[in-house]
A and B are shown apart, each in its own frame.
Chain A
């Protein structure tokens, strides 16, 4: 336990400190932010570091075991629609809890002056992830090559991007990036690896990997469709 805390603390400092120091250096050399903004930035960085440490610890203690418990139960049932429904729900609920998704939707909501609502965006991103996690599990069951599925997903994105209103395109592409965060990745990976290790005749390495890549296609397509439908 103590070792885990130490590990996590080190990780968080490594991730946050370089850019924080870079910003401070830039501030003192060129920009000179107003003092309250600067002080809030420093306190903010401390809160972000503390928050990340607590959060990652909580993921290890609570959220990851929840995902694993569900993931190991899943392949025991042989009823495909049930498996796919559970895969969808795991993908969906894990994405709703992803901090990076909250940050993006919050920013979009603020910048767009409330015209793209927080809840709607998070919902669409989560449905996209859920749908593609289910599709990825179906792929493992059918033994369909991952390359074709990735290529099909990316081609669909390219085609859709021509029909999407310009103000939705950047948000859509960004939505694909934020879903691969600290909650989603371990839970979805655990689900995929646990699942393909139970199915006989599938190589764990080749089948378990690729899930995250597929999962991040969903939100892009989802947000683009939302743009097409709404405008």
Chain B
């Protein structure tokens, strides 16, 4: 690569983004014409917003393509070539933690859980719990890449555990848990970690980038689901115990 090419292929990016916004805008316009009949001023504001969103996604995607992919695959290639392969695991743990700890959605979820549990599950517990949970799972994801373990061997037991926990938990805990699956799969996780994982698989012999490089996002989505239900169960057991104590005394 010679020099900077920050806006290489920008036309393609813009056309992708414009195409992606067509269905929702068409759908809305049809709805507007038939039923909604919102005032013009309000419509103008909505379309101004859509315009800003389009510009934003285009800039975002361009930054990801020209900045994050090359750096991610550079780091991945470097990591895949080191001799002590197990070092990838602590690296994954660190990256998983950094990607989650800052994620605003995780903080919002913490607030939501604190409210729903009447303050007995603190929001800091949710923040740290999910961050460490994701860190652990990204570490597992790296171990999977290093030793070529099929994703099924990790995800399927995780899903089975989730189904078991589901029947032991309250309905509210289940709903919040499954909705929160996506909180940690923010833009950094999806763009950067994916590029790193694909880079690693391309420099370890015998790994197929399609089979081994993908899968991290699903692990990142699984961690909060399991954590929220476990926290809910812990709360349920504690409340029950307290109820029994009160009953005896």
Give the shortest distance, in Å, between A14 (CB) and chain B (any CB). 5
Q: Is there an interface contact between B28 and A51, defined as CB atoms closer than 8 Å?
A: no
A76→B16 CA distance, assembly (Å): 35
Q: Is there an interface contact between A161 and B152, defined as CB atoms closer than 8 Å?
A: yes
Q: Is there an interface contact between B48 and A167, defined as CB atoms closer than 8 Å?
A: no
Q: Is there an interface contact between B191 and A103, defined as CB atoms closer than 8 Å?
A: yes
Q: Residue on B with the closest CB to A45? A: B67
Within A58-99, which residues are at the interface with B (CB < 8 Å)? 58-63, 65-66, 69-70, 73, 89-90, 92-94, 96-97, 99
Q: Is there an interface contact between B48 and A51, defined as CB atoms closer than 8 Å?
A: no
Q: Is there an interface contact between B70 and A55, defined as CB atoms closer than 8 Å?
A: no
Q: Is there an interface contact between B28 and A66, defined as CB atoms closer than 8 Å?
A: yes
Within A88-116, which residues are at the interface with B (CB < 8 Å)? 89-90, 92-94, 96-97, 99-100, 102-104, 106-108, 111-112
Q: Is there an interface contact between A210 and B178, defined as CB atoms closer than 8 Å?
A: yes
A157 proximity list for chain B (CB < 8 A): 159
Give the dominant DSSP class at B's interface. helix
How many of chain A's residues touch chain B, expressed as a range?
A: 35 or more
Give the shortest distance, in Å, between B159 (CB) and chain A (any CB). 5
Q: Is there an interface contact between A146 and B102, defined as CB atoms closer than 8 Å?
A: no
A230 contacts partner chain B, Cβ-Cβ < 8 Å: no
Give the shortest distance, in Å, between B236 (CB) and chain A (any CB). 15
Asked if A151 meets B217 with Cβ closer than 8 Å, knowing A104-B194, A209-B175, the reply is no
Q: Is there an interface contact between B192 and A147, defined as CB atoms closer than 8 Å?
A: no
Within B25-57, which residues are at the interface with A (CB < 8 Å)? 26-28, 31-32, 35-36, 38, 42, 45-57
Give the shortest distance, in Å, between B214 (CB) and chain A (any CB). 4
B239 proximity list for chain A (CB < 8 A): none
B103 contacts partner chain A, Cβ-Cβ < 8 Å: yes
Within B169-185, which residues are at the interface with A (CB < 8 Å)? 171-172, 174-179, 181-183, 185
B235 contacts partner chain A, Cβ-Cβ < 8 Å: no
A15→B108 CA distance, assembly (Å): 13
B233 proximity list for chain A (CB < 8 A): none
A158 contacts partner chain B, Cβ-Cβ < 8 Å: yes
Give the dominant DSSP class at A's interface. helix
A143 proximity list for chain B (CB < 8 A): none
Tally of contact residues, B, Cβ under 8 A: 106
Asked if A54 meets B55 with Cβ closer than 8 Å, knowing A16-B188, A19-B188, A170-B151, the reply is yes
B68 contacts partner chain A, Cβ-Cβ < 8 Å: yes
Q: Residue on A with the closest CB to B116? A: A205
B75 proximity list for chain A (CB < 8 A): 23, 26-27, 31, 33
Q: Is there an interface contact between A16 and B162, defined as CB atoms closer than 8 Å?
A: no
A89 proximity list for chain B (CB < 8 A): 23, 27
B17 proximity list for chain A (CB < 8 A): 102
A38 proximity list for chain B (CB < 8 A): 71
A106→B194 CA distance, assembly (Å): 11
A226 contacts partner chain B, Cβ-Cβ < 8 Å: no
A33→B195 CA distance, assembly (Å): 15
Q: 7 shortest A-B CB distances, which residue pairs?
A: A44-B67, A180-B182, A62-B49, A213-B178, A58-B53, A61-B49, A55-B56
* A-B contacts besides A61-B49, A158-B160, 6 pairs, CB < 8 Å: A43-B66, A51-B58, A103-B194, A107-B198, A169-B152, A170-B212
